[in-house]
Structure 1
Amino acid sequence: MADILFYCALTLIWMMLLYHMFLMEGGYLHFRSFEKPIDQWSEKMVDVPTVSIFIPAHNEAVVIEQTLRAMSRLYYPKDKLEVIVINDNSSDNTGEIAQRFTEKYPFIRVIETVEPNKGKGKSSALNSALAASDSDIVVVYDADNTPERMAVWYLVMGLVNDPKAAATVGKFRVINADETWLTRFINIETICFQWMAQGGRWKWFKIATIPGTNFAIRRSVLESLGGWDVKALAEDTELTIRVYNMGYHIRFFPKAITWEQEPENLKVWWKQRTRWARGNQYVVLKFLTQFMTLKRKSIIFDLFYFFFTYFLFFFGVILSNALFITNLFVDIHLTVGNIAIILWILAFLLFLGEVMITLSIEKTEMNRKNFFYVILMYFTYSQMWIVLVVWSLFLEIKRAITGQEVQWYKTERFAKKTK
């Protein structure tokens, strides 16, 4: 019985590894081709649509000034652009800093959230801005972001040239990647997410996920959907499913680049990633229960991917580790010792190869230092994720049973680096 369970666990692990190898290939092919239509697409960027940039801000005094400087430099007709800072119940001087920019740049304005949306989290803040604006396209940036000058132009370009796209998502990079060992791990993780989960899925399946930042979406779609789900901690993933269910797709266009800050210590990382994991678990359970009513059956494939990632894959890892460790102390008749070691070594080499090839897509990232960080990442950072997902699932089950209100955690910021 122990052998059967162990092989089942290994099957789950290897299915995920092989699928990511497939995604890695797709991401690399997308990297080679995504810039080709830009010259042709540029011809349609004449009478461009109006754009509202939403920046939810709760106690963002440390970073908001640098973010708004980046917004002031954006390449987009200023008579077609507005930047809305949503000051959401801040107790610091976020509002005062943002207000100074409104005096210098007429296209920047500040709104204050009011009850019942006040202090309720990102989704509520975004819904407040949606009600206070009327542009054709909505672009969202987190308050720690510094988009490159052409980022919004490219996001809008994707929508102008693709009527079937409800949203265009860009690429984000880590601005403080060299600060700590943790930010180096996150930088590697982020690059893999961009080119595997986003680029690979877009290349093979025409599927991408709306991230929390650096994306543009048609107002008409947002209004048809009723805005953002205030109960979802991962409001971006939840919105993604509903967009696809309407019959649209979401284009991944990595020419639109923003730089964002990532957690520099474990306490902040744990809280942020717990929110992410709980949010994605909420989305999976929410829409799997609506399995039969989903109009776009293609999105079911993506739901199962999230289900596999946040439930089955981690279950397989935990089960295999538990069986292996238990057998060291108690004889449970596990007889796959040598085979398990060989499969583990092959899995590690496959992980190392996938990540290093993905890093090669970004200039300067495939180097000796990152090679050793990837090895260390496998034994530390990846294992931390396993513990985190289990803890997140416990919290989400507890919330569902007790009916407690979702509490939004705002990621702590650090003194911002320039890019």
Structure 2
Amino acid sequence: MPDTPLHDQSLSLDHQTFAALLATTENLLIIQDLDGVCMGLVKDPLTRVITSDYVRATNAFDQHFYVLTNGEHIGQRGVNHIVEKAFKDSSVPNYLPGLAAGGIQWQDREGAVSHPGVSEAELAFLQAVPDRIARQLHDFFQQYPEILESRILEECIAASVLDNKASPTANLNTFYAHLQDAPEVYVALQKNIKALIDRLLAEAQEKDLGDSFFVHYAPNLGQDSQGQELIWFAGPEGSGTTDFQFMVQGAIKEAGVLALLNRYIFNRTGTYPLGEGFNARQAPSDRNALLDLVKTNFDPDQMPTIIGVGDTVNSQVVEESGQIVVRRGGSDRNFLTLIQDIGGQFNTGNLTVYIDSSAGEVKNRKPLKLEGGTVIEGPCDPQDTEDPLQLNMAFPDGHLQYCKIFQQAAAARAAKTSA
């Protein structure tokens, strides 16, 4: 489809046209996830690797590039630590600017971090969560003394308790790897950790923090009628939900899109369309309301072409009580859909870019299906024919393929700027 604009294509493999768009579009805003996008998916977050060449390439998009992740910048398992290791020969690494912890942990390129809109009482409650997760894991496996030897159990717990400052998480990837022959135990573990999360939410309520937190399941099966995310229990298709993230209410990626867009317009015009103090927690949770906020407050003439990049989008078509039900989920789905909708509203040619991370260590992604150099089946259920999200670009060979094209575009953009 050479004459069809990229934003009207579906799962295009025209990477050179994509690279040219990144290199030559002056009013450009890239909003990019991290795990599975510029780093391989791994069971233990401490083993993640990012290349210094990729990080340096982001400099070519200074003030046009931001990250948006449910992980964090800081801490032992934060991305900053990974970046610092990549720059071991340099005392001053380049940090990745943008929002972490779902949209409430801001970082600039120099590594200065803040938590806009988060109270000290909320941070104090979050600080106690990692120890609770560790105790829960120890207690659970006392019921199964023969399933894991003590050394492996301790290693799995150490890898599974993510002591993030603003999004403490139970990551069950390593447990899943060791429980392949006992799937019923792994599902019981998923249910046990869910019970802990529910108990933590109840305790927050008792401390007058009932509106402060929610749980993000990654990957998930969308939301129920009350807007709560649906856990995905393991089955023949894979591990299902592996990350149980205890998050600050309002820390959702689609709200982060507005916070980043607000900063981007300020950098270009000197004016914040949503106000200088706007943060993700002030944004509505409904995607239509978010789009209305953009329509009401942003000047169409100033709107950039937004490129949203992610790797976690899924759907399942199932039968429940004799009815066909479609469950659409994935932690990148909503922010990509909002970027798509903004592009449709303002006619800015926004793109949604999908990175196939199924080849990583974490086996809960459906691989793209190719035939004759064309993607013939995406990451979602082929029976889901009415998915509102259209993924424009695809990188079937994963993060290395994407990083190569990104670095190519960065070099061309830098050359154009210096010319």
Taking structure 1 as the reference length, the TM-score comes to: 0.29
Q: Specify the structure having the higher radius of gyration (Cα).
A: 1
More strand by share: 2
Q: TM-score, normalised by structure 2?
A: 0.29
